[in-house]
Structure 1
Amino acid sequence: MTSLLMILLYAVQIAFWIVLAHVIMSWLISFNVVNLQQPFVYQLWSGLNRLLEPVYSRIRGFLPAMGGLDFAPLVVFFILYALRIIITNNLYTI
């Protein structure tokens, strides 16, 4: 059981870093630090979008319109942090 919880914890940590990379990359694209005309940047951006857009779209369905602000990544961070706390508490009580 401990091994399964450790694997789940690592999956949550990987998901956290993927969401963080997506948020940072969106800022860099918005402020024209990186250009989507570069093939590597475009492939990375489209891969992250394909990976995270199904999660974000479900969360955006629950959130009210905020006038251009997207709080879906913040909600995902909160959910991932809550999962990490739950897994960690159950991991050390076994």
Structure 2
Amino acid sequence: MNTMVALVGVVIYALQLLIWALVIWAVMSWLVAFNVINMNNGFVRAVVTGLDRFFAPMLRPIRRVLPDMGGIDLAPMVLILGIILVQRLLPALLLDVGMM
């Protein structure tokens, strides 16, 4: 029983780290778009490319469903809301099952 609570805590913490990484990726993409940071820098290019490759498979199905909003991409916000929903439902499901 305590093991399940610990595992849920680790999963919730990992999801929180995923949210922060998504926010960092969104801010970095804005900074690149407004030419605040330079993509000619090798470190910046590696970080942006790595985050793009990491988040692209998660955002692709959301972008297919969302309507085209011009230049506004709402897919990261929808993904963050989905992650928060999972974070809230996971402990509630364990309470319903009787594991917590």
- Scaled by the length of structure 1, the TM-score of the pair is 0.90
Alignment gaps of 5+ in structure 1: none
Q: Identical aligned pairs, as a percentage?
A: 34
Deviation per residue, 1:31-80 (Å, 9 max, x gap): 11101000000000000000000111111011111112111001011111
Larger Rg over CA atoms: 2
**1:5 is matched with which residue: 1, 4, 8?**
8
Measured after TM superposition, the shift of residue 89 of structure 1 is: 3.9
Q: Distance in 1 between matches of 2:56 and 2:70?
A: 19
Q: Distance in 2 between matches of 1:11 and 1:64?
A: 30
Alignment gaps of 5+ in structure 2: none
Match status 1:79 vs 2:79: no
What corresponds to 1:61 in structure 2? Answer: 64
Q: Distance in 1 between matches of 2:13 and 2:80?
A: 15
What corresponds to 2:43 in structure 1? Answer: 40
Aligned residues: 93
